[in-house]
């Protein structure tokens, strides 16, 4: 069976920055492959485009330019926040507020965004709310482990039912 809309794909991948020799970002192997419902709109469209039509056992590799992945790094996603908003019961928790830490924060609309702490001064904290992969070209390489037809229930729910629901 070929990968197409409404198929369930299991695949391995090695994700590196830029090209095959780039910095390793994530690795998913055969013991616990990445399983997803193809065409459900949760994956990057260009990612799906590159594996469409492949069958079980096929090896693949391709690069996604940052514009087809998580977009450019945005200057307006860098923010200066008042340090006191990090206070809990009037105290700053040093186990949370330190340089390089990712902290979940709510924006004005109540959405949770992950922000990375870049700099801490006496009264301000500079944070980066860009996606961690923004501005990066990504390289994927792996194997298609399995392809099967999705059940009508999976299509209706827009996710895979593989026991771990």
Told to check if 116 binds Zn ion by CB under 5 A, we report no
Instruction: Name the one range near Zn ion by CB under 5 A: 57-65, 94-102, 132-140, 155-163.
Output: 155-163
**Pick 50 or 157: Cβ nearer Zn ion:** 157
Minimum Å distance from CB 30 to Zn ion?
A: 25
**Pick 50 or 159: Cβ nearer Zn ion:** 159
CA atoms within 13 A on the CB side of 127: 23
Distance CA 164, CA 48 (A): 23
12's CB contacts (< 8 A; 6+ apart) are 28, 29, 30, 33, 34, 142, 143, 145
> By beta-carbon distance, which residue lies closest to Zn ion?
157
The answer to whether the CB of 123 falls within 8 A of the CB of 82 is: yes
Name which position in 2, 157, 158, 163 contacts Zn ion (CB under 5 A): 157
Minimum Å distance from CB 150 to Zn ion?
A: 11
Instruction: Name the one range near Zn ion by CB under 5 A: 45-53, 86-94, 129-137, 154-162.
Output: 154-162
The answer to whether the CB of 149 falls within 8 A of the CB of 7 is: yes
- Contact positions vs Zn ion (CB under 5 A): 157
């Amino acid at each position: 069976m070929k990968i197409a809309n409404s198929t369930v794909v299991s695949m391995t991948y090695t994700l590196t920055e830029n090209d095959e020799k780039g910095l390793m970002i994530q690795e998913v192997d055969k013991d616990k492959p990445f399983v997803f419902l193809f065409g459900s709109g949760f994956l990057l469209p260009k990612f799906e485009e590159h594996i469409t039509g492949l069958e079980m056992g096929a090896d693949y590799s391709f690069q996604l330019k940052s514009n087809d992945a998580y977009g450019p790094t945005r200057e307006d996603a860098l923010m200066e926040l008042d340090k006191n908003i990090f206070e809990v019961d009037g105290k700053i928790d040093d186990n949370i507020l330190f340089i390089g830490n990712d902290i979940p924060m709510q924006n004005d609309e109540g959405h949770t965004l992950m922000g990375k702490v870049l700099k801490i001064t006496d009264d301000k904290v500079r944070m980066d709310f860009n996606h961690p992969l923004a501005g990066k070209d990504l390289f994927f390489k792996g194997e298609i482990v399995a392809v099967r037809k999705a059940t009508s229930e999976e299509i209706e729910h827009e996710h895979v039912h593989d026991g771990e629901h």
